[in-house]
Amino acid sequence: MAELMSGFGCFTHAMVRAVPQSLARDALRSGGLEVDLLKVQEEYEEYVSVLKHRLGLEVLELPADEALPDCVFVEDAAVVCGDTALVCRPGAQSRRRETEAVKAALTELGLNIVEMTDESATLEGGDVLFTGREFFVGLSKRTNQRGAEILADTFKDYAVSTVPVQDALHLKSFCSMAGPGLIAIGSSEAAQKALKIMQQMSDHRYDKLTLPDDSAANCIYMNLPSKGDVLLHCTPEEFPESAQVFEKLKDHMLIPVTNQEKAKVDGGLTCCSVLINMKKNI
């Protein structure tokens, strides 16, 4: 059985990308909801402020690109584990160029860069769940088997299992890590089915935190010096019942972060950052 990654949840840097004005009109979305650009920008600024000022991370902010309306959702462009960054090949054609600025920034940080050049492969970071022991990769409309294989080739120290994603954009649309060995999971049939597959695939037993709302299961766990276990999660205004479930995590520093407007274009909390742990020798 794989040991828990040393320093799981420890991060020093966060990469984010500013909101383009084109998001309101042109960002991809599964519903037909109108988006208030000002509210999206306010949510983004709050998010960045939490990372930088409340948690003390070094925040690397990439400029918005008006030609890339979804570029604020930077998580989909790269998967970083340890000192290696896999630059993804997004499944949505309109998002392919988002990786250029992300690759340049990760290169400048001194990470080992692996680029997904196989044109038959697709992978978006929203489909990649790293538990500290292994990877689960959602096979969705945006990520395919070949993309999962390239991820497995890139991060050879960890087992990689694939999970079919139904009725959701990404795997992390209804799950994420809420702590070491603790999976936050939504209550829908699709989410519960995916969890069952993950449990069957894994040699490790995970605890689960079941949320009434699938979208609320997308949260961000960190383990930070002088802060301990930290969890960014949904607000009571968005999901009152799910927020009460998070409040049971008495040992965590709980930080509710608003995501109501970005959710209209299928964005979750994890979508807006790539978290990195820079060792001193990099």
Q: Which residues are catalytic?
A: 170, 271
Query: 72 a known binding residue?
Result: no
Query: 38 a known binding residue?
Result: no
Query: 76 a known binding residue?
Result: yes
For residue 13, what are the β-bridge partners? 58, 276
**Which one-letter DSSP state was computed for residue 36?**
-
For residue 255, what are the β-bridge partners? 232
Encoded tokens for 191: 């989410």
Query: 42 a known binding residue?
Result: no
Instruction: Give the CA count within 13 Å in the CB-facing half-sphere of 223.
Output: 12
Residue 37: other Cβ atoms inside 10 A: 15
**Which one-letter DSSP state was computed for residue 64?**
P
Query: 28 a known binding residue?
Result: yes
Torsions phi, psi of 240, nearest 5? -60, -40
- Report the C-alpha gap between 220 and 231 in whole angstroms: 6
Query: 75 a known binding residue?
Result: yes
Listed in sequence order, the residues at least 6 apart from 35 whose beta carbon sits closer than 8 Å to its beta carbon are 23, 24, 27, 29, 261, 264, 265
Q: Which residues are annotated as a binding site for substrate?
A: 28, 70, 75-76, 95, 142, 265
Residue ranges of the annotated binding site are 28, 70, 75-76, 95, 142, 265
